[in-house]
Every structure is written in structure tokens, then in C-alpha cells.
Structure 1
Amino acid sequence: MGVTIKNDIGVSLRKMAQGLTRPTNKALNAGAEVFAERLEKNTPVFDNTKYKGKRGDYMFKHAKDNVTYGTPKNGEILIGFKKDVAWRVHFVEFGTIRQAPKPFIQKTQKQASSEVFKVMLNEMSKGLKQ
């Protein structure tokens, strides 16, 4: 003889979580947009005029022009730089033997955290009212 216990609370929580996916994604996208704008403003630009003769006349892609963010997944969203410039951003952020660090990503995190939080909170409250 078996006993089946139906857990209505678990079912209700799952339904509620599914209903929150869309507002959460909108909030993440809004926050990412604000952060990406601030990151673009804070990203330093490399001036290659002094290297023109030494390294050739090739085109540098500036990290500032390649800020991007992905799509929300599991309640997270990645914000950063496109693949072809992302590999060298950490040299600027943390420095090298010949270059002092310019922690522009950390600076952006500190500057934008309250604004991003407000935008995300606003988007979540809009989504919950619907």
C-alpha cells in the first residue's frame, strides 16, 4: 500500500518562478545596458601614433568600440568586450611589467552599481505589476 502526498506549495513556487522569468530578463537587460554605456565611457583608448613606424600601419580595434552584453541565462548576464579585443583588456585593467594598471572595470562597477540596481528594480516592479 502506497501513500501519495501532493505538494501544492512546490507546484505553486515553480509556476511563480516561471512567471518571473520574463520580468527578470527585462531587468537584467536594462541593467546590462546601463552598465555597458558606463563601461564604454570609462574604457581607455590606446593612442598608437607613437608606434606607427615600429609595428606597421595596421588597424587597432579599440576596446571602447567593442563593449557588448549577452542574453540573460539562469538569472545572469555577461557584460564585457567582443572576443577579438577581450583577450587584451586584462592587460590594461591589471597592468603588466611595463604598464601601470588602469582599473577602469573596477571603477565602472563602483560608479554604476547603484544606478544599475535602481534600473533593475524599476523594471522588476513594472513586470510584477502586469
Structure 2
Amino acid sequence: MARMEMTGINEMLAAIRQKMGNAAENLEKKTLREGGAIFAQAQSESVAVSNINHLHIKDDIKVSGVKSNDGDKYVAIGPGRKTGWRAHFLEYGTSKMPAQPFIYPSFHEQKAKVAQFMADEFAKYLR
């Protein structure tokens, strides 16, 4: 799984929590989900689509709710249950099909944009 960490984010969040109190939690969750939506959009745009009439991975990319692990909050982004089993074939290829990655490249193309978006969203509330 790809990870993105932002330097100085803890200090910024502490300042927001001090200024906004309990509303900071909602801001943090909203910003994480919106940042995840940017990654999801990039994945949807870059995934290969077949001409077969069924649910495509492109139409099943989802952003999870905010989760927490050891105090770190995150959202999971990727294909849902109905198409997830096919996604790894595209991402990594098979013995008979070359890889057509869409998750890893989308993450690296959008990483800076999402970091800037999140920093801007948090900075709005520090003014």
C-alpha cells in the first residue's frame, strides 16, 4: 500500500485544534476524504477499460471512511469488492498479460497535488 506522510502536519493540526476545538476533528476527516477523492479520480481516469458490458473497475473505485491506526488517520482508496479481485491483474500483470498499472502511477502523479490541497485546506482555518 502506498503511504503519504506530510511533514509539519502535526504542528498545523495542533494549532487548528487549539483554535477550533472539537470542529477540528470534522475538518480533518473532511479534508482526508476530499484528498482521497483526488486520488480516486486519478485512478478512475488511468485504469484500462474493456469493451465488455459489465461493472468496470473505473466505475467501482471508492474512498473509505476515515480510519485510524495507532493515532494516524487515513482513508483507503481503490476498487470495491465487486471489482477488486480483478484490479491486481491489471496492476501487476499475469503470466499471459503485461501489467497495466493504474494505482501506483496515479498515487505518484497526484501526491504533490493532494499534499498542497490538504495544506491549503488546513491553512484556511489558521488565518
Q: What is the aligned residue count?
A: 106
Answer yes or no: is 1:47 the counterpart of 2:51. yes
TM-superposed CA distance for 1:18, in Å, is 5.5
Partner AA of 2:121 in structure 1: E
User: Is the contact made by 1:30 and 1:123 (CA closer than 8 Å) also made in structure 2?
Assistant: no
For the 8 Å contact 1:23–1:127, the answer to whether it is kept is no
Higher share in strand:
2
Aligned residue for 2:50, secondary structure, equals coil
Q: Which one has more relative contact order, counting CA pairs under 8 Å at least 6 apart?
A: 1
Give the corresponding residue for 1:34. Answer: 38
In the alignment, residue 29 of structure 2 is paired with which amino acid? N
Selected match of 1:72 from 60, 66, 69 = 66
One-letter amino acid of the structure 2 residue matched with residue 89 of structure 1: A
> Is it true that 1:62 corresponds to 2:79 in the alignment?
no
Deviation of 1:106 (Å): 1.1
Q: State whether residues 27 and 121 of structure 1, in contact with CA within 8 Å, keep that contact through their aligned partners in structure 2.
A: no
Q: Which has the larger radius of gyration?
A: 1
Q: Which one is further off, 102-111 or 19-28?
A: 19-28
Task: Give the equivalent residue in structure 2 for 1:54.
Answer: none
**Higher helix fraction: Structure 1 or Structure 2?**
1
CA-to-partner distance for each residue in 1:54-98, whole Å, 9 max, x for gaps?
xxxxx4211011111111122110111111001110011000011
In structure 2, what is the Cα distance between the partners aligned to 1:96 and 1:18?
Answer: 48
What RMSD over aligned residues (CA atoms) do the two structures have, in Å? 2.0
Extract unaligned runs of 5+ from structure 2: 1-13
Instruction: Output the TM-score relative to the length of structure 2.
Output: 0.73
- Structure 1 stretches (4+) deviating beyond 3 angstroms? 15-20
